[in-house]
Structure 1
Amino acid sequence: MQRVAEAVASDPAGCAALTVTGLAERTGTSEATVVRTARLLGYPGYRDLRLALAGLAAQQQSGRAPALTTDITVDDPIADVVAKLAHDEQQTLADTAAGLDTVQLGAAVAALVAARRIDVYGIGASGLVAQDLTQKLLRIGLMAHAPGDPHLAVTNAVQLRAGDVAVAITHSGSTRDVIEPLRVAFERGATTVAITGRPDAPVTQYADHVLTTSTARESELRPAAMSSRTGQLLVVDCLFVGVAQRTYETAAPALAASYEALAHRRSPRGRRA
């Protein structure tokens, strides 16, 4: 199957002109192998793969970029799903990077570096991103928390003061369970950061620094939680790397120590987990 896949990837126009028998002869395989390869690539049969190759060849000859829609339908071959999702993820990352205010980002990094304590708030998919930021900061020696319970988030926020940092992650910017602890932290004097897809959202009223994300167009099978998470993770990684750069002398040993502490939980190479 590898020879068939390599052939269609290297010469889509030539392969599109071949019958299933012709492609089998060209690759030194069998007709059954060609059909299995087509199905492995997500197409119902060789005819569908051949049509896709013809379309790709026409696009390459015209010099146009592939006309790729972000809409995923229930009938899409898995190969098309992969291509569409990859396209959307790349677009979300590019748009987020282009729109990210690096001055605000730098200020947020500086606040995190100097923080006595860091709280990170998020619900649902944004809660997973909050946990990601928290575990990254913990591994380089910063005291970070991501309370998953909304009531606990508020009671934690009450304990914050000047010199602490609170980070709220919400794509809509209007999630009450995220806004409320950020408001409390803001009123207690902590430095506050909002990561949101809407720079004029309610959460920004209580944010000293606002970091905006971008999302690809949504569809029925690709809800906002998928595209927003991609942009949020990019911002989180930028924050983490920025902090690690400024605290390298302490961050590197802390990261090494955390890695060593978990080493015994990893299976030795060559042994199945």
Structure 2
Amino acid sequence: MDTTELSLQDRITGRLALLPAAERKVAEYLRNHGPDAIFATAGQIAAATGTSDATVVRTARSLGYTGLLELRHSLTRQVVRATSPAPPPGPEGSLLTHVFAEATRRLADTLRLTSASTFDTAVDVLAGAREVLAFGIGPSETVAAYLALRLRRLGRRARATGATGFRLADDLLELARGDVVVLYSPSRLLAEIDVVLDHAAAVGARAVLISDSLGPVFADRVHVTLAAAHTPTGATGEGLPSQVLTDALVLGVRAKDETRATERAELLTGLRSELSQTGGRRRTTQPPHRKESP
């Protein structure tokens, strides 16, 4: 493939797993702070990433550029394309049309990147779990909580966490053999991911990763990876493809045991019915009057 046609994002996604740790830090910074890096010197990028000028230049070359100057030119073109004024409002050029068009592209890309065998493997892993622990930080925490809720409604044991630092340790205590960790991490290399995966391996739990670019980085440490296409513009939320994948996974797990899912749904409906009636009740009896002393 002609690498001159690849965006910086694509280059980083394809090579992140092969980069040394220091260069990986620089690549992550460039991906997450592209506009800031356009006019930054090697020294400024090095200071922001805790590396050196030489590491910044080596990273640019590792990504296929002749040096930092060509990388900055590529970034400039990428940012200009992403921030070009939208077409004037109209049936084919409204803001609404733009957002829905981007959402459609991201979902189509996610579907294209997800093979049937990979998806089936992920469903089997979740369906066979003793308990599922869903992990996500920031917007991804919402999707993690959504997965746990949907699985519990199917009669499966599931919980979610968005904890970081020391607080995460409490949520990992109960992880055991036969459990499954589902990691929602679009593109950021978080220290917590390493801790979660190391602990999962230590106790005999399996891991499913849902990410747009970290699959190659953790390929040898997770059981299966599902790709969730990223957005270059930010017009649609980072969790969009992850949530749609989650819906598909939940339906796949449900199909493994329709009887359990149906019984659980009936129980949920019954509880909701009771609660709705309770909420409308009024006290119909008065407490007994206490006799007053003569």
2:138 aligned with 1:124: yes
- Check the 8 A contact 2:215/2:227 in 1, yes or no: no
Shift of residue 77, structure 1, vs aligned partner? 5.2
- Check the 8 A contact 2:177/2:203 in 1, yes or no: yes
Shift of residue 208, structure 1, vs aligned partner? 1.1
Question: Which of 147, 152, 155 does residue 133 from structure 1 map onto?
Answer: 147
Cα distance in structure 1, aligned partners of 2:95 and 2:268: 37
- Check the 8 A contact 1:196/1:211 in 2, yes or no: yes
Structure 2 partner of 1:257:
267
> What secondary structure sits across from 2:229 in the alignment?
coil
> What secondary structure sits across from 2:210 in the alignment?
strand
Cα distance in structure 2, aligned partners of 1:124 and 1:149: 10
- Check the 8 A contact 2:187/2:211 in 1, yes or no: yes
Shift of residue 111, structure 1, vs aligned partner? 1.7
Cα distance in structure 2, aligned partners of 1:265 and 1:82: 39
2:96 aligned with 1:82: yes
- Check the 8 A contact 1:174/1:202 in 2, yes or no: no
**C-alpha distance 167-200 of structure 1, shift in aligned 2 (>3 A):** closer
RMSD value over aligned CA atoms? 2.8
Cα distance in structure 2, aligned partners of 1:83 and 1:89: 10
Cα distance in structure 2, aligned partners of 1:265 and 1:201: 48
2:223 aligned with 1:213: no
**C-alpha distance 200-211 of structure 1, shift in aligned 2 (>3 A):** closer
> What secondary structure sits across from 1:168 in the alignment?
strand
Shift of residue 126, structure 1, vs aligned partner? 0.7
2:114 aligned with 1:103: no
- Map residues 145-184 of structure 1 onto 2, 5 A cutoff: 145-150=159-164, 151-184=166-199
Q: AA paired with 2:207?
A: T
**C-alpha distance 211-263 of structure 1, shift in aligned 2 (>3 A):** same
**C-alpha distance 263-187 of structure 1, shift in aligned 2 (>3 A):** same
Question: May I ask how many residue pairs the two structures share in their alignment?
Answer: 194
Deviations 1:69-117 (A, max 9, x none): 9758599759822111100111111110111132222122112112111
Provide the TM-score with structure 2 as the length reference: 0.59
- Check the 8 A contact 1:139/1:255 in 2, yes or no: yes
**C-alpha distance 107-200 of structure 1, shift in aligned 2 (>3 A):** closer
- Check the 8 A contact 1:161/1:189 in 2, yes or no: yes
Q: AA paired with 2:126?
A: L
Shift of residue 180, structure 1, vs aligned partner? 2.4
Question: Which of 222, 232, 239 does residue 249 from structure 2 map onto?
Answer: 239
Structure 2 partner of 1:196:
211
Structure 2 partner of 1:94:
108
Deviations 1:33-82 (A, max 9, x none): xxxxxxxxxxxxxxxxxxxxxxxxxxxxxxxxxxxx97585997598221
Q: Which moved further from structure 2: 115-124 or 156-165? A: 156-165
**C-alpha distance 200-246 of structure 1, shift in aligned 2 (>3 A):** closer
Question: Which of 200, 217, 220 does residue 185 from structure 1 map onto?
Answer: 200
Cα distance in structure 1, aligned partners of 2:138 and 2:129: 26
Identity %: 21
Structure 2 gaps, min length 5: 1-80, 278-294
Cα distance in structure 2, aligned partners of 1:130 and 1:72: 34
- Check the 8 A contact 1:195/1:213 in 2, yes or no: yes
